Structure 1
Amino acid sequence: MAITVTATALPEIKLIEPRVFGDARGFFFESFNAREFAEQVEVGVEFVQDNHSRSAKNVLRGLHYQIQHPQGKLVRVTSGEVFDVAVDIRRSSPNFGKWVGVNLSAESGRQLWIPPGFAHGFVVLSETADFLYKTTDYRFPEYERCLIWNDAQVGIAWPVSGEPTLAPKDAAGKGLASADTFR
């Protein structure tokens, strides 16, 4: 197998580690293989869009989700390092309001699978980071929602000193108590 898959503290969120083949010339790894993803992560997932963002140190993006047309995301970093977070926002889940965070970097090649029903965000730890992700549905701006990054009810331990740099829509995110959530 070219990947190792590990469940996180939120069992639906999966950490995916590729087998990297390296030598004096550099390295090679499969960043995505549909057959292995279906066998080891989740059956029936179809990705429809790839996205790429570049952000500076201390930029925090998120916590994003779409209340209709929810997206599953397969995320990875191709340069730099981020602290990546998923929050369970499914009211029927025993883990509602709980979060998991992992460091993702270009060096490790690790990826994170975040299925629909979770809010997602990250903060950049390196000078810059290139963040790539596949989604299972298209972007629908009218259904985009944002959970505020520093909601005390959720209590994410972001590895930042001081206030991160936020987009206006992220700064205006809602707390879990008043946010639109999934059943």
Structure 2
Amino acid sequence: MMVRNTGLEGVLVLEPTPHRDSRGFFTRTFDVAVAHAAGLRPEAFVQDSQSRSYRGVVRGLHGRGGDGEAKLVRCSFGAVHDIVVDARPESATFGRWMATRLDDQDLVHLYIPPGFLHGFQALTEVADVCYRIDREHEPAEDLAVHFEDADLGIHWPAAVGCVSERDRNAGSWSELCRLLASRVA
């Protein structure tokens, strides 16, 4: 498994090496030694979750207040257009976002450290996304920014399909910036 940095400090791409043959493939989806070598603390992960989405569905942009939340994300079935937004006010890349295709062919994983927003759009008829998370869910700390926020200018590759009520009613990036500034002051 190879690990590489991205243009957003702390966000890592983990690239497994699947062994393919006529039966399909076998791959390691997690390796403690690789995680430690990349500077991650695998023992900190406390919850595994999975979502299923249908073509065009957008989930996000979600984050966590307080101490934030680290995630290790992969698409176990289908394909998604994955978005990560730097929401760390002290970061040199604050407000920048990146897109990564996660799918069941390349099997790439994305490590997202605390302080980022995350979302994705399903690109295939069905897409299953698996998350390994380092904190138990605390709804009072949930943060959300509208997936079509004009200030962020995120480009979704397909027509947006079903979106949750929470995501349709999410606030703006500028509102989140004001909230984050008030917490620092």
Q: Who is 2:37 aligned against?
A: 39
SS of residue matched to 2:34 = helix
Distance (Å, rounded) in 2 between the aligned partners of 1:57 and 1:76: 17
Q: Who is 2:174 aligned against?
A: 177
Letter in 1 for 2:113: P
Q: Is the 8 A contact 1:53 1:131 kept in 2?
A: yes
The alpha-carbon deviation at position 38 of structure 1 amounts to 1.3
Q: Who is 1:156 aligned against?
A: 154
Is residue 165 from structure 1 mapped to residue 162 from structure 2 by the alignment? yes
The alpha-carbon deviation at position 152 of structure 1 amounts to 1.3
Distance change in 2, residues 1:103/1:43 (3 Å): closer
Q: Who is 1:58 aligned against?
A: 56
Q: Which has the larger helix fraction?
A: 2
Given the two structures, how large is their TM-score scaled by the length of structure 2?
A: 0.92
Question: Which range moves more in the overlay, 56-65 or 66-75?
Answer: 66-75
SS of residue matched to 2:174 = coil
**Stretches of structure 2 lacking an aligned partner (at least 5 in a row):** none
Distance (Å, rounded) in 2 between the aligned partners of 1:12 and 1:51: 22
Identity %: 34
SS of residue matched to 1:177 = helix
Q: Is the 8 A contact 2:51 2:129 kept in 1?
A: yes
The alpha-carbon deviation at position 15 of structure 1 amounts to 1.1
- What pairs with 1:23-172 in structure 2 (closer than 5 Å)? 23-40=21-38, 42-45=39-42, 46-161=44-159, 163-172=160-169
Q: Is the 8 A contact 1:69 1:138 kept in 2?
A: no
Question: Which range moves more in the overlay, 171-180 or 120-129?
Answer: 171-180
Distance (Å, rounded) in 1 between the aligned partners of 2:95 and 2:157: 19
Q: Is the 8 A contact 1:69 1:140 kept in 2?
A: no
The alpha-carbon deviation at position 37 of structure 1 amounts to 0.8
Letter in 2 for 1:12: G
The alpha-carbon deviation at position 44 of structure 1 amounts to 2.9
SS of residue matched to 1:178 = helix
Letter in 1 for 2:164: A
Distance change in 2, residues 1:61/1:25 (3 Å): same
The alpha-carbon deviation at position 26 of structure 1 amounts to 2.0
The alpha-carbon deviation at position 69 of structure 1 amounts to 4.4
Q: Is the 8 A contact 2:54 2:127 kept in 1?
A: yes
Distance (Å, rounded) in 2 between the aligned partners of 1:164 and 1:112: 24
Letter in 2 for 1:144: D
